[in-house]
Structure 1
Amino acid sequence: MHAIAFVGPEVDLARALQGAYSPALVLLSVAISIVAAFVGLQHVHLIRAAGSRGVGFVWHVMAALALGAGVWAMHFVGMLAFELPVAVAYLPALTAGSMVPAIIAAFIALTIIGRERVTLAGTLAGGVIMGLGICAMHYIGMAAMVVPADMYFRKGPFFASIGLAILMGSVALSAQAMLHRIIASPLLVTLFSAVAMGLAVSSMHYAAMESTVYVPTSDLQQAIAAETVSRPILAGAAALATAFILLVSLVSTQLRRRIADAAESAARSEIKAGILDDQLRTIASRVPGVVYQFRRRPDGTYCFPYASEAMSGVFGVSADMAVESADPVFARIHPDDLARMVASIEESAHLLAPWQCQFRILLPDGTERWLLGNSIPRAESDGTVNWNGFVMDVSAQREAEETIQRLAFHDSLTNLPNRRQLYDRLERSAGRLQRRRQYGALFFVDLDRFKLLNDLRGHVAGDMLLQSIARRLVTVTEPDDILARLGGDEFIVAIERLGADEQNASDQAGQFGRMLLAAVRDGGPDQPVLNNTPGCSASIGICIFGGPERITGEEIVRRADTAMYNAKKAGGNAFRVFDRAMLDAMAARHVLEEDLRAAISAQQFELHFQAQVDAAGHLVGAEALLRWRHPRDGLVMPGSFIPLAEETGLIVPIGNWVLEAACNQLRAWQARSEARHLTLAVNVSARQFYQEDFVDRVMSGISQAEIPPARLKIEITESLLLRDLLDARTKVGTLRDHGVRCAIDDFGTGYSSLSYLANLDVAELKIDRSFTSKLDGADNQKELAIVQAIASLGRRLGLEVCAEGVETYAQYEVLRAARCNLFQGYLFGKPVPVDDLMPALTDQA
């Protein structure tokens, strides 16, 4: 029996025994694990559909036995596939006992996913249990080995095998629990899940085997003890016995499932038949509303000679009670509506015009309902007027109309006035203050770190906080103040009661701002669980308005917004009053925007190029970087104007120019034999990428420049992908189909997700400079591990890996050792005009 021991300095790895695998038996072991998982997971349907708890338990046990035995059989067939140059046997008790944790884990995992309501947390828990069960089975089975060698495990692969089993087990159980929402066929769901589970078992086994080291003892030919069984006999018998059990279980499952499906189908048909019968009975017994004949006698009294049975349901009055007099019905009409309704009846009788009226009734239980009456009058010779028509309940319609009206002017989450109502009220407020030469103030309240709260605790907690903040702001404002939610985590408070002195108004506004900060920060007892969490402080921008100056509501909000950003830059939980400096900054921003628009028209932009080299240091391409040749300020770096371009949408025409210029540069390189192989990478913004014609523009630029599509590389950032992953996948796939490669820029920062690589047909990953810059430092282990992981991931997925920000030769050496494909950074050259880039190519030749 072997205890778990890890490879240490004392272990002589040079003496380790080398084993080999039989491909046929490896494939057999994987097939056994997949079939076992398929049989076990198919029982989930039978467990849920079982008519009794006892039957369900039987299916449950069968599923656990099938899945656990399959895991066990896979292990020993896998061990049979692995041959060592020494005799190997197994201890019977431990060998048999190793099946127990696999069966128990399978039983627990199937218990979790067999519930009617399966949560993501539950499936993950099941995956963890299943993965640990698989690992326990494997390492107990390994402990049962009898071999003339000491067994050790490499720590990395050992723990990786455990993590792999848990990850793949979670994927399999999650697929079994969740895929039915998007895949109609239960068989396909089970098949996908079984493949994932089978691969989980197999990948864990062979990953664990990779971690195992056998160091021979002094006597390689020592005899095997009599109480052991030989490896081929035990593995072969286990495989045959388990295959027989799985075959019998599979046949049994298929038969029982067909019976259960037939019973379920019959039950559904019976339910549908019952529902249809009830619907037909309901339609036959009554029609919506009250069909009636209403009469006005010559003496001015009213009655209902006829009314349908629905009269009692609508008015709470039987039809018989209203035959002689309409008073019982009129008694139900809301007192505020009765006179108006009677007047409309008299007008219809006088003009013999169709009668239509909406009115309320009050039922005996105090319920208020809205009704709509329609009828056509007909006069008799004796002065009697008869109306034939119907009345129907329109309470739901009225409620919907009121809801629509409320939603048009109120925020649905907080019930505060929305942006539309805010600007309407703010314009009127500004007008009043200007006429009276009085001052008011608008407070732009933006919660601090609200996105962090959503990320940490979910949108439900975020919504609860927004509702709580709205209630807190209500408590510190007056009924005549303006309180609105602008959107997201932004609130607006506007007050008029600041007097005619501007300085005093500013002082009062500051006091009120402190009160608002306290209300947000300190909160109250309504949501104590949310107090002192991200989002429970605010940055407030204040704009004093009124007096002799008349500015629009939109300008007031814009100024307060600018002041708020200054408060945010100061660290949050503070307020700032809009002042002349901010006004000047806004003016400067306006000038920059106008200059930027002029730059687009005058084509004042140019491209600089930063070299990209291969592992041998040869120039293989470059990244195109934008520069602005300002007529007054000289060369302007993109950091000074790109954020404004993004905000104003000017990034789209700028990006289109960059794309066109890059294609033209590639055309110039194509004309030179020594530069014909160079590629050129172009960054695109989110606004540009998500334009409907983006792909068409790229292909048009390539076509007009007559360049090979493979020479152009489109770089997209991970944050860009957050906006619409489905659209991104479509565009990247279309570009790839046309020969244009795409790269994920700054990979490894912020939003890294393997789902990008699974969903996007990209060709390259660019490692962010934040990792490469620390590779030559003393404490570089984390960065080194990340870089190696990204490089390894890229190789396995067939992607090129480019390291950015390489500034030292030591960094270059580490990255080359990690087998990165491309390198970019100041070590190989700063961004320069194209004429300064080409000498490097000439020197290289």
Structure 2
Amino acid sequence: MPLQRHWLFSLLLMTMLVVQVAAARTLTVGVYQNEPKIFFDEQGRPSGLFVDLLTAIAREQGWSLEFQSCNWTRCLRMLNRGELDLMPDVAYSDARADVYDFHRQPALNSWSQLYARADASLVSIFQLENRRVAVLDESIQEAGFTDLLDGFGVNVTLVGVDSYPEAFRRVQVGEVDAAITNHQYGALFASRFELVATPIVFQPVPLYFATGQGLNPEVLSAIDMQLSQWRLDPDSVYFDILDRWQTLPPKPLVSPRLIGMLVAALVLLFIAVGVVFWLRRVVADRTRDLRQSEQKLATILDSVGAFIYIKDRDGRYVYANKKVLDNFKLTENELIGKDDSDVLDAETARELLTNDRKVIADGQPLSVEEQMRYGQIQGTYVSVKIPLRDSDGQVYALCGISTDITEQKQREQKIHQLAYYDSQTGLPNRAYLFDHLEHRVRDRQSDQGVALLVIDIDHFKNINDYHGHEYGDDLLREVSRRLQSLLSGDSHLIHLGADEFVILATGLESATLNETTQRLCDQVLTLLRKHYAWDDFTYHCTASVGAALSDDASDYSLDTLMKQAELAMHQAKKTGRGRVCFYSSDMQTVLQSRMELEADMRVSIHREDFFLVYQPQVDANGRIIGAEALLRWQHPQRGVVSPGEFIPVAESSGLIQPLGRWVLKTACSQLHAWSKDSTTEALTLSVNVSAWQFRSDDFVASIEAVLHLTGARPERLKIELTESMLIDDLDDAIDKITALKDIGVQVALDDFGTGYSSLAYLKRLPLAQLKIDQSFVADILTNSVAGAIARTIIGLGHSLEVDVIAEGVETEAQKDWLAAAGCLAYQGYLFGRPDSADALLRQLSDDSAGETDYPSVG
């Protein structure tokens, strides 16, 4: 009894010593990528089963942990050199025990398994003859697998790798035929690399934490003590960690790769049984090992998330894994000997029995999709069934693997719906048109024609802007319903998106194709023109329709028809909307000309073929007070191109932005040049800016930058805007014009009177000048309405204390009328055509010399 007390006291003293020595330590721990046991997650944090275990132990022992990233081989070498205090997830071997120290209580048990591509069909170790297998360098798997190969006399080339992902990648790209990993990693990641588990399983091993030999015995003792305590308590943190990391999330449902895995698992069962009997006859001394392998195999089959079963020739169950038993809520004794009619509904049982009999009768494997119903549950399964043969080659049973793909089927259907159908209207979308309907255009009979209509709702933006998007969506659904009522025969309605629809009509008679299409277009216009009624208002709209036809089966693709119909639709919009336009080759010619003009503009911008001309602006006495800078293009082949021709192309192509920047910079450089001459220093220069420039967030900053770069005086620069630029976002326009005024730049409203001309916004804008549009000036002497508008603009300018200038003044009579009405600044051919800066300077010099006649208008 005293001896026992002495022993207990010594044990307690030793434990306290271990705890004291191990406490307050900072341990450097090696971490390599081997999910789920140990790895760095996406945020670069150490994670995994071993990390959680060590963190829990460190918390108990008062340790601080520092984690060091390294691959497997480097981690071991760092451990050997003492650069690491601790290495998790190390399998014990006598060879390693000569180099490293291990604790006694295993942290985890594992085994190794081979993984390969599904088409490799590896089911036996003998199939590895002369093949390449990737294995982790300096791992215990390498040594164990080498011993296994030697025992069976199989010649295999082992290819060393630094990590499991590298091993799987090499198999995926065909650099090796198979890879060895632990079963935990393989279960998680094999499918990601399109690999399947093979039936080749070996080397169950315990896993430990390891240290350099003789370096940290107190740490290993503390780990042993902690693991021993935890493993005696089922509710300890040790078992919580195991449950959390070994309860893996469900694998993705069936894919072609998984089917290969299931086939391999099925073959595993068959081969394993055969291997057991063969090994008993050949290697009697390995009987015990084979029994352990059978137990492992049963464990593996029970852990597979699929139904694995064996049925005899009459369809009665001979074997079922845990998944089958749990699904039917039966024990093994309750299920064995029964057939499907005892557990499933009659219809399902008949379908399954038909497939089972086919496998038995044909003696060939069968992969089939099956519908299974039991109780209130119904699902879709992929079943792989292979015949089992006896020693005489006779089929005595079948082995099957059935995997639930119900959720995958539902997901595929949802993905298909999202990919090919519009959520607003439920109609097929553009992807559906080109992926599923192109063959109807391509593969039609020679005497059949095709009509493609592109339908665009006119001014659709109005209902969204003024009534809200919910009404816009309602309108689209109603348009969809109306257009569907027109479909007949082999016709399809597509919602391209936004406010555009397509009707594709195939199988039409070529002889009457034009008349049939015209009739359909008229029906579309008539039906969509009818009013749309809501509880609180009624809406009317029209549609523009572009039609493209093909009466020759050897001519035109769907893509060509689509482009032609869209071109025709845009032409219908240009010519007034609410009408039909059929594609013609002339449209293509115009488009080609426009594209060529755009291409030439891009070259000319870099070649500096553009130049500015200046039209004088004069006061009531005819003295030049400023000028307007106007852009011209000297085309290398066509000569000078009219702005009316190239400006719309520049705006639609986005080239207006670099052109606008060039105009502003060139004009400011001219202003700076004028400031150096007493004759021209007082001149102002007006520059038109595009809507693209004005709406950009850095508009004001860009003007400041140009002024700073060129040295131009801001008070001599006048920016001309049109009314349409202001209305889209009035608050933004006010902010920008105010900012320009703050730096001294004046802002003029060009073409005033042709747009909105609303006092509601005009009084809020800090403008410097209103410009009477030349369309009013041309008619002031003959049209009372034009005269009244001009007088109103002049009076408005006086009321707002804003200068007024009239453009397009060509006669003395027009100038005198404007002067009498109070307009004291003019611009037009009466005072000079747009010309070079030198010409303007000469005219200014002539005026200074006393010449009073206005320049000839020619």
TM-score when normalising by structure 1: 0.48
Bigger Rg, which one: 2
TM-score when normalising by structure 2: 0.47
